[in-house]
Structure 1
């Protein structure tokens, strides 16, 4: 049997290896290329028992199914023209003015993140924002930076908005509607706070007069995608109320869109399966096993010593601060996997404080979340250089302010609606 020191060494080394690969991604290979073998090795050498590994995978299966369905739904809605239509709507709302464009990007990106998850904002909306800024001859910087910040901050509202939300939703014991009602005010206040800072930080870019351009003609809304999306969102609320896993509603929406895509011969079935991003799903499961091993071998005691065990606003602020620091040190997904077991006993309030910390906190650094890493790749694909200095200056101004505002709003929501 492996010693405690040996198990701790193996688990920490495994986690660091997986995170380093996820940040660097040599040759553009998937995060799963390393994560799956590392998880398998930890099970093989006895750092985590096969029984615990099976239990962890079984517990996460509904979450993974939910995530896969939402990813497919987002991709198929993109093929229906939903995001292109959003780009035209943003251009029309902007009326040729960069400051109006920033407002429309904030509105659209917040809604896209809330409904489709942060990956949709980074991968599908950011290229549309680039094209819209070019169409209006506006400087792209404020608007594409908004995409990465809102892919994190804008993901507070619904259980489907972020993988971290799905995990927190599972741990909180809240219904879909209850979760959304408690997080609505923190979501809104955090976005408004970020918007105010963005308007100040990019004030010179936003007053630059764009070249004259015509207001784009309105395009026909993608009614089928909008109707399916609305029905899916209603299904989330209904299934949650009935005590049925909302993953079934997500799966139904994805199946409807899949049937249409195949019938219209817009996509092959293999492309639709690819939209679920199986390598990423495998990475999430493998990472969960690696984090489980780290928790079982001492990390939980260390972090538990940092967590405040007091109630009220001070306690919520302390929990969120620890979560934000952890997210920037080991990325948001591992951080939430570590913290949820330690805070679940504190009830929904503690779990939601963790969620605010791991969703807003990652805006502070490039490596805080996988979404930010992915956003940088999208920018490089568009030959748009990023500045670490500029990113950090903006993040230092926005992140603590949005974090504090969201925690105060959560505290108010808990008092207004009860926990």
Structure 2
């Protein structure tokens, strides 16, 4: 198949996949469209079977890591970790919506970094809503915070986001070095978000609330927290030892799963469902379609567009292009398209891409699948975010967080080398 028709077909199929992922008629999994689309691009020769298999083989460890972390997050939820976090926020805020916002920011930042943005969107958001209602606070600031922090706070660790796992693989960095370089960008993005939220939602945060009713606080899941901490240590140790951190994630997940199965608090089928196998299949199929788009023209265009080097202007340009592309075609296809071009330039441009695709999606609903999922979850709890609020918050936060985080990355590269 010649290049131009192959590119047109590949782009059309990519847009079809993304459109289906946004709408999800009858709640059908995204893989329903993505898998046939991947088969089509291979069948017509837009991507060769060898290249398709190579792309799948490269993505398999990343997708396996994602599945393990998703199961780990669900097991933590089953152990009461998120309920305990919500209770701690309610007690610490003492009836103050402003204090509650700080608590939500802290909880969302940590949970996103350690257990991924999906844990924040799926498991923390309902807890945040329940906590706001418990003290009589207006939910808007806290609900929007869970959406924004799911993206903005996902910069810190390779496990925080699927895009991070892809960038981590392409960067050649160790787990600890990745975290060291992204610590300042992570803190900078969260700080900017907090300042903007305090000013934008000033009226909501000034509305009266009350202290929560006295209840017996749920006990902290000490065993779960211990396993989680040891799993994080395992990520660092395996990375330094040259072993795929996937194995540390598997060990932590197996320990919690064995305990839950032994206590009959879960079932093998529930564990499989918590790994979201259809979404994992969707990621693999999407990688093949994006490979076809990149190989038939987009890759050359990106190569001409992205500047070379790790100077501050170059990193700002890379982050800006990545953010724009994330809002045009979603952040997951964007990172798959950008990394083959940015990867050979070194870790600086790769991490700048990550800043763009993680922070950029706070501008539009379609920027990330996590934001789309957040909308569905809050609708299910009778909360209906307004597009105007989401867009205005995006305009106020995205450019500022992009600049602050990219400057912080550049400074970290100068200091750490």
**Partner of 1:318 in structure 2?**
317
**Partner of 2:295 in structure 1?**
296
**Partner of 1:100 in structure 2?**
99
1:240-259 equivalences in 2 (<5 Å):
240-259=239-258
**Partner of 1:391 in structure 2?**
390
Distance 2:270 2:283 in 1: 21
Are residues 1:60 and 2:59 paired? yes
Distance 1:54 1:335 in 2: 20
Give the secondary-structure state (helix, strand or coil) at the position aligned to 2:296: helix
Are residues 1:271 and 2:258 paired? no
Cα-Cα RMSD: 1.0
Render the CA deviation track for 1:33-61: whole Å, top value 9, x for unaligned.
10011101111121111111111111111
Does the 8 Å CA contact 2:67/2:275 hold for their aligned counterparts? yes
**Partner of 2:47 in structure 1?**
48
Does the 8 Å CA contact 2:309/2:345 hold for their aligned counterparts? no
**Partner of 2:336 in structure 1?**
337
Unaligned runs of 5+ in 1: none
1:8-407 equivalences in 2 (<5 Å):
8-211=7-210, 213-214=212-213, 216-407=215-406
Distance 1:213 1:239 in 2: 43
Does the 8 Å CA contact 1:91/1:216 hold for their aligned counterparts? no
Distance 1:260 1:373 in 2: 33
Give the secondary-structure state (helix, strand or coil) at the position aligned to 2:367: coil
Does the 8 Å CA contact 1:92/1:215 hold for their aligned counterparts? no
Q: Report how far residue 385 of structure 1 moved.
A: 1.0
Distance 2:36 2:165 in 1: 25
Distance 1:311 1:66 in 2: 29
Distance 2:380 2:50 in 1: 43
Does the 8 Å CA contact 2:331/2:367 hold for their aligned counterparts? yes
Higher mean alpha-carbon deviation, 52-61 vs 95-104, is at: 52-61
Distance 2:416 2:215 in 1: 44
Distance 2:371 2:304 in 1: 29
Render the CA deviation track for 1:243-293: whole Å, top value 9, x for unaligned.
000000000011011101110001110000110000000000000000000
TM-score normalised by structure 1 residue count? 0.98
Render the CA deviation track for 1:1-43: whole Å, top value 9, x for unaligned.
x122221121111111111111111111111110011101111
Give the secondary-structure state (helix, strand or coil) at the position aligned to 2:365: coil
Give the secondary-structure state (helix, strand or coil) at the position aligned to 1:219: coil
Higher mean alpha-carbon deviation, 119-128 vs 85-94, is at: 85-94
Does the 8 Å CA contact 2:310/2:348 hold for their aligned counterparts? no
Distance 1:117 1:84 in 2: 17
Unaligned runs of 5+ in 2: none
Give the secondary-structure state (helix, strand or coil) at the position aligned to 1:367: helix
Distance 2:212 2:75 in 1: 31
Distance 2:211 2:67 in 1: 43
Distance 2:11 2:152 in 1: 29
Does the 8 Å CA contact 1:88/1:216 hold for their aligned counterparts? no
Render the CA deviation track for 1:364-415: whole Å, top value 9, x for unaligned.
0000000000000011101111111111111100111111110111111111
The count of residues paired between Structure 1 and Structure 2 equals: 417
